[in-house]
Amino acid sequence: MKLKIDGETLEDGDFKVETYSDLPMIVVGGREYYVAADSEHAGRVVRRRWYDMQRNDKAEFRCMIGDERLVQWACGESDSFGISGFDEFLDRVSEVPEEELASYDGNELEVTDADEELIEELGFTPTVAYRHN
């Protein structure tokens, strides 16, 4: 397998692919990269993560969002980011997936030169990556 992340060429033996999460991960030594077909796909995954948290782990959701913001939304008020409800929040987070996925540096990276073997394993052609650690 072969691919290039942000100009760095990786070949068989340089990395492994982990596909157990909602986005596949490329692991290179101690570095981990989420990969996606494009920014829009990554945004849909981030949106779904927040939606699922709100539905299935209310304590974690409350901790992450904060009581003050939840009260503002419930009262029809905008928070300090100008967001006035959960649906609007979902729209905003889906527009900037790098803020959640690229916890290392907050940057979206370009993926090129993915070979057919990798594309087949992933089920898509990756064009973006987000360094997770």
| CA 73 – CA 22 distance, rounded (Å) | 28
pLDDT at residue number 9: 95
pLDDT at residue number 23: 97
pLDDT at residue number 6: 95
Nearest to 35 by CA among 26, 47, 22, 45: 26
pLDDT at residue number 123: 95
Mean pLDDT of 67-78: 96
Domain boundaries, the chain: 2-131
Confidence of residue 97 (pLDDT cuts 50, 70, 90): very high
| CA 35 – CA 125 distance, rounded (Å) | 9
pLDDT at residue number 12: 86
- Residue 132 clears pLDDT 90, i.e. is over it: yes
